[in-house]
Amino acid sequence: MKSRELAEHHAVLGFTPQEAVRWLSPMSLARTALKVMAATVFADFGDKRELEGGFPADPLRLDKLPVPGQPAQPSVSSRGLPLPGELPGELPETVPAATDMWLDYTADLGDGFDSTYTVASLLAQDSLSVDGHELPRGRVLVLGGDEVYPVASPAAYENRMAGPYRMAFPKRNVALRGPQSTVSGQDSLQSGPHSETPIMLALPGNHDWYDGLTSFIRTFTRQRSIGRWRTIQTRSYFAVRLSGEPPGPDGKGTPGWWLLGLDSQLGQYIDEPQLDYFYRNVTLQLQRGDAIILCVASPFWVKAAEPGLNAFRQVNFFEQDYLRRRFDPETQTFQPTGASVRLWLSGDLHHYARYEQRGPGEPRNLPADPIRTQMVTCGLGGAYLSDAHWLPDDVILPAPSTAPGESAAVRDSTATPRRFTRMPAVYPGPADSRQLGRRLANPLSPLWLPVRNPGFGPSLGLVHIAATLTLWTVFSAFRGESFVDSLRSLREGNTALLVVGVVLAMPLLLAVVALTARALGLASSGLVVFVRGALYQLSALAVSAAVVILIPWPDWPDVVVLLLAVTLAYLGGWAVGSEAFALFILATPTGEVSSWKMSGQSIEDHKGFLRMHLTPDGDLTIYPLMVDTVCRDWQLATNDDGARLVPANGLPTVRLLEQPITIARKGSTP
């Protein structure tokens, strides 16, 4: 069965499988625009993260899980009692240091069923054999943002994310005991990666924020399960110690790895309850030698044309003042924690790219070195594929702040900035990225703009009719003739010269505007982009007008001639106007319009995720995995767990996108 047929079985499946979002269809554009405007207003006047300050703030633990299905309720430890470090002899139970752990990371997932369910099914497999590596399923699955498209709502979460993931990894019936007890039976914490309760942690992206975070909080902070994956977080951000032991009364502990998820709310700021959460659960517990995996909702390091402090300000402030340093209220100074962020993870951009730390003067091409910090973008969880050829070769980020009395939020460091270099393994590669983008303007491709986006061609056809009637009315009034008489009068004189002038006038004007804007450095100006888009459509309208002029209209009734001319304008808008719009997108090098050449195609293939291995020696190894083609043919199977869809031809072959990357717990001095 294809994805369109699956919706007929929604009663059996428990959700309605969805097709991939058609981003340039008029309905999707209108719906998304309204939600974005509402989210922007909400972000200014109401922020649900402030309300999360009343949610439980207890440390998350992998060895003791809350009872599934219970709503989050404040516990004794989150009712304003002194911190454990302030009460010697009353420290929390020590968490055993993990010696071996697997983790999974995926982002940008809740789009079309075929791609989302393919990735979810691969994540749910007990183990994957990839290029000679045996890779067990991760104990922890991190969803790095944008868990639903195009906008968040309860139905969208159920149909596009929770339903497919629940079906990919069906829940087993297990017996539970106690409010903070491990799960019995096969879900208990016995040795081996398949006997542990799989954990799901989620970070909101901008699309999760489009309903004010309401649906995200209901889905991921209620201690419920999505299939066999357990959700344990109580807020839209999280902190989990993966290995090591916290410092005791004597201040000594075992350094290890931390996993943090930061919610930066549409890239604006970090709220006070969130900072307090991290200060209590992470900053005060950090010790020398701790390594941190920091998940953020967007790769801020590549968002700006010239990445720097402005593009990186919020996460840089958090890293400097809450992870590398801790504030001492007694001395009113910042003291180094000895910890460092060793791996940055992000989605939001639907491609794979990795940046590696470089020292001052170091060349780009160096052998692999585990001590180097890595920045990885992997947004291949299910949403449309993005291009990557525009990524900068290097990004320059603020240096660590060294002034003990000043916050990184109000001071620009004068030290040598940090430099990160883009590694060769980018997907899609620059050549493939450009080639894929051109398909939007190929009328013979199934991904052609009006074919891939239902309603786009007809809507543009109606716009062209309105423009035609408006211009025709003005022209007829100027000539003092009726519509049809003014049309027939155009064939008097040099018709060929008239047609050439009509067809070439707008493209020539477009070229002049584009060259002038580029010379003045205004090519990316919003006004210039709008004018260019209008000129592209006027050029398409001129082609339709030329066709109407060249037709030797017989002596038909005026109403018939009028209807035929309007029909030609509509067809011209549908085909020529759509092609002109696609060419306009391809000719726009940067900005939001430029991104439409990939989102407009809704490419469902080329998906992937990260599988990471935390080894007993303290190293973290990343395996970037991908599939070139997702499953599109499904069979409905039933078993003890209920109805379930399985691939008709088996799951696709998984391959390594690049060789595994090893990161040592102790890194180089930045």
Confidence of residue 493 (pLDDT cuts 50, 70, 90): low
Tokens of 301: 């390091």
Distance between CA atoms of residues 144 and 106, nearest Å? 6
The average confidence (pLDDT) of the chain is 81
Question: Which residue type does 617 have?
Answer: D
Distance CA 487, CA 484 (A): 5
Q: Taking residues 261-279, what's their average pLDDT?
A: 81
Q: How many CB atoms lie within 10 A of CB 477?
A: 10
Q: Looking at the predicted structure, is the pLDDT value of residue 105 above 50?
A: yes
- pLDDT tens digits along 144-178: 989 998 888 889 999 999 999 999 998 764 332 33
pLDDT reading at 126 higher than 60: yes
- Give the torsion sign (CA, 54, 60, 63, 68): positive
Average pLDDT over residues 347-372: 88
| Nearest-angstrom CA–CA distance, 406 and 321 | 9
348: CB partners within 8 A, 6+ apart: 107, 108, 145, 146, 205, 206, 297, 298, 299, 377, 379
> What is the C-alpha separation between 42 and 265, in angstroms, rounded?
11
pLDDT tens for each residue of 619-651: 999 999 999 999 998 888 876 556 788 888 889
Please give the residue that has the higher pLDDT: either 280 or 251. Answer: 280
Q: Would you place residue 41 in the very low, low, confident or very high pLDDT band (cuts 50, 70, 90)?
A: low
> In the structure, what pLDDT confidence band is assigned to residue 190 with cuts at 50, 70 and 90?
very low
Query: Looking at this protein, which amino acid is placed at residue 195?
Result: S
Mean pLDDT for the stretch of residues 554-582: 87
**Residues 311-321: what's their mean pLDDT?**
81
Asked if residue 284 has pLDDT above 50, the reply is yes
pLDDT at 654: 94
Give the model's pLDDT for residue 159. 92
What pLDDT is stored for residue 81 in this prediction?
A: 34
Per-residue pLDDT band for 127 (boundaries 50, 70, 90) equals: very high
Angstrom distance (rounded) from CA 552 to CA 546: 12
For residue 45, the SS3 value is helix
pLDDT at 389: 85
pLDDT of residue 371: 92
Tell whether the model's pLDDT for residue 57 goes beyond 80: no
Neighbours of 533 (CB within 10 A): 18
pLDDT at 180: 29
Are 584 and 623 contacting, i.e. CB atoms less than 8 angstroms apart?
no
pLDDT of residue 433: 85
Amino acid identity at 199 = I
Q: Are 585 and 440 in contact (CB under 8 A)?
A: yes
pLDDT above 70 (res 252): yes
**Structure-token pair, residue 62:** 């992998």
Cα diameter, the chain: 103
The pLDDT of residue 82: 40
Give the pLDDT mean for 317-345: 88
Strands (E), 329-385: 333-336, 340-346, 352-358, 374-378
Going by the DSSP 8-state scheme, the letter that residue 571 receives in this structure is: H
